[in-house]
Amino acid sequence: MFAFHHVTLNVRNLDAAEGFYRGLGFEPDYRWQDEQGVLQICHLRLGQARLELYCFRPADEPDLAALPPWAHGHRLGLRHFALQVEDLDNALSSLHGAGLLADKPTPVPGQTCERYVFIMDPDGNSVELLEAPLVEIQRPA
């Protein structure tokens, strides 16, 4: 039911981070930026592995009070890892039925997938469950 999808890192400078990972053999897959320019996302691939780089307010050290609600929990380093599922509703029902989720969260439409939701492991680590293949947003030059 679940397949590994990606690991996400929060980075301070997207170009510098992308350059570093390209030097390790990762190839750019695509980029996306929100309309306000607050968040940039870059996906890189190395074989079957996908690395997602998040950069909030790229040129500045973030002012946490100024970040939008979906950016709470911002810190440099590991943000979350993601598992792809064929049917998100079924996956959530299964996890809830097995007692792994106290409540079933509501999936939301994604920018890089059809729908997604975040759940927490027992230690508070964030795991993204996403449905449908990635959509092509902005291919890198």
CATH number for the domain including 15?
3.10.180.10
pTM recorded for the entire structure: 0.62
Q: Which domain holds residue 34?
A: 2-131
> Domain for residue 120, yes or no?
yes
- Residue 115 backbone phi and psi in degrees, to 5: -145, 155
Mean pLDDT by 10 residues, the chain (141 residues): 85 86 85 86 89 73 53 67 88 89 88 85 77 60 53
What is the predicted pLDDT for the residue at 25? 80
What is the predicted pLDDT for the residue at 89? 94
What is the predicted pLDDT for the residue at 58? 45
